[in-house]
Amino acid sequence: MGAPELNPGKAADAVLAEYASLRAELLQKLGTQSTIINLNLTAIAGIGGIVITQRADIRLLLMLPVISGALGLLAFGEARDATVIATYIRDHQAPLLAQYIGDQRLFQYERYFQDNRGSLRPVLISLVVGLVFPGISLASLYLVWPWLRSPLDWTAWGLGAVLLALNGLVWVVLCGRRR
């Protein structure tokens, strides 16, 4: 017994339903990424402000590489997922829908956006995100170095350094993919 004959109308409806679901997930991923960046900026402002204005122990800055490191890895995961979804829509769903409908002009925004975004935009985004996550961590670790005393200080500094290295690696990978 062979496979049933494909009904292009029903197949197109299925592709459109999957598209709607993926777009909703994409928007959720982008919203989550924005929230993560806002949390990181709030932590930077709060901890930095306490250390500067209230003359708190500078070792309090050791919290920033840990917070920024963890949030940076989460933000990277959301960015990666969003890129995968957008690529799937462009490379798999658009050709399928064009095949079922018989019109190649559908789902062209992603390609249009890629062609018209400008070459500087991905570099600027990666630079800003690199400053917000790994850059703040590096500055904090550098500023705190002379004041490290206890094994706990050195452990926190080491954890921050490991998270900084991981963030640096993943953001370099992300920058390479955005080009």
Q: Enumerate the domain spans of the chain.
A: 8-178
Q: Please write the tens of the pLDDT for every residue from 105-162.
A: 777 777 777 677 666 666 677 677 777 888 899 999 999 999 999 999 999 999 999 9
Q: Please write the tens of the pLDDT for every residue from 31-72.
A: 999 999 999 999 999 999 999 998 899 999 999 999 999 999
Q: Please write the tens of the pLDDT for every residue from 75-112.
A: 988 988 988 998 898 888 888 888 888 877 777 777 77
CB 68 within 8 A of CB 137: yes
In this prediction, residue 115 carries a pLDDT of: 73
Structure tokens that stand for 32 in this block: 């989550």
